A and B are shown apart, each in its own frame.
Chain A
Amino acid sequence: AQTVTQSQPEMSVQEAETVTLSCTYDTSENNYYLFWYKQPPSRQMILVIRQEAYKQQNATENRFSVNFQKAAKSFSLKISDSQLGDTAMYFCAFMKHRTTSGTYKYIFGTGTRLKVLA
Chain B
Amino acid sequence: DTEVTQTPKHLVMGMTNKKSLKCEQHMGHRAMYWYKQKAKKPPELMFVYSYEKLSINESVPSRFSPECPNSSLLNLHLHALQPEDSALYLCASSQMGQGSYEQYFGPGTRLTVT
Binding site for B on A (CB under 8 A): 33, 35, 37, 43-47, 50, 52, 89, 91, 95, 97, 102-104, 106-111
Given contacts A97-B96, A108-B42, A109-B42, contact A47 B33 (CB under 8 A): no
Distance A97 CA – B103 CA, assembled complex (angstroms) = 14
Given contacts A44-B107, A97-B96, contact A110 B102 (CB under 8 A): no
Chain B: interface residue total (CB-CB under 8 A): 23
B102 contacts across to A, CB distance below 8 A: 35, 47, 50
Given contacts A52-B99, A97-B96, A104-B56, contact A44 B45 (CB under 8 A): no
B55 contacts across to A, CB distance below 8 A: 102, 104
Min CB gap B1→A, angstroms: 15
| Residues B1-47 near A (CB distance < 8 A) | 33, 40-45
Binding site for A on B (CB under 8 A): 33, 40-45, 48, 50, 55-56, 90, 92, 96, 99, 101-108
A102 contacts across to B, CB distance below 8 A: 50, 55
B101 contacts across to A, CB distance below 8 A: 33, 95, 97
B45 contacts across to A, CB distance below 8 A: 106-107
B104 contacts across to A, CB distance below 8 A: 47
| Identity of the chain B residue whose Cβ is nearest the Cβ of A9 in the assembled complex | B40
Q: Which 5 A-B pairs have the closest CB atoms?
A: A108-B42, A45-B105, A44-B107, A47-B102, A104-B56
Distance A107 CA – B106 CA, assembled complex (angstroms) = 18
| Identity of the chain B residue whose Cβ is nearest the Cβ of A6 in the assembled complex | B42
Distance A44 CA – B106 CA, assembled complex (angstroms) = 6
Distance A60 CA – B33 CA, assembled complex (angstroms) = 27
Min CB gap A92→B, angstroms: 9
B50 contacts across to A, CB distance below 8 A: 102, 104
